[in-house]
Amino acid sequence: MPRIPLPSTRDDLDSDAQREVWDRVVSGPRGRVVGPLRAAIHAPDLARAWSALGESLRFGTSLGKRMSELAIIVTGRRWSAQVEWTVHAQAAADAGLEADIIAAIRDGAPPRFTQPDDALVYDYARLLLRDGTVPATLHAQVTGRFGVKGVVELTALVGYYSMVAMTLNAHEIPLPDNATPQLSAPQEGLFDQPPPA
């Protein structure tokens, strides 16, 4: 049960500012107001900025869909954000990420990657989420592979989707379409093990 009112339709909104944000989101790449935006819309200025940042990170990075969705599901798993996981595990699968990799991340096990870029993004995201920073060598590897723009975008993806996860969890935003929760509570030592070489 959500802890705050969550508008489901435009008619549920209280102000012109909220309706303006709603209309902008619906006409954009998301196509609907879902997840954390249902909470953020109570603060229209925040929701406007949130939506713009989210659209840039989800739909406009130089990393591509597969790498972006991988970073997002690692983040969703770290915070055991059921809504974030449900939406983005499907998006990751649609972007070509293998089912066994998604399942390993869901279960808190080190995935076996076949593509070096996947392992690089996974390691960067897991260490950033675990430690709040990454080793200089890993930062240099990611920068060397994806460029300065890519490493900045990857860091921002992890930070943004951490904010999303916390919003979803704090306000107990329900899963879409009565979906079944897929994540267990976080385990001790989640992300301590690197992926197998």
Domains along the chain with CATH numbers:
10-58 (no CATH), 62-178 (1.20.1290.10)
Question: Rounded distance, CA 157 to CA 54, Å?
Answer: 9
pLDDT along the chain (197 residues), means of 10: 88 91 88 87 93 90 96 96 95 97 94 96 96 97 98 98 96 87 79 75
Secondary structure of residue 1 in the 3-state scheme: coil
Question: Rounded distance, CA 186 to CA 174, Å?
Answer: 19
Given this model, what pLDDT does residue 197 score? 67
Of 77, 80, 58, the C-alpha closest to 69 is 58
Of 91, 30, 103, 99, the C-alpha closest to 65 is 91
Q: Which residue in the block uniquely carries the two structure tokens 């998301």?
A: 30
Amino acid at 141: Q
Put simply, whether the predicted model's pTM sits higher than 0.85 gets the answer: yes
Given this model, what pLDDT does residue 2 score? 85
Question: Rounded distance, CA 170 to CA 149, Å?
Answer: 31
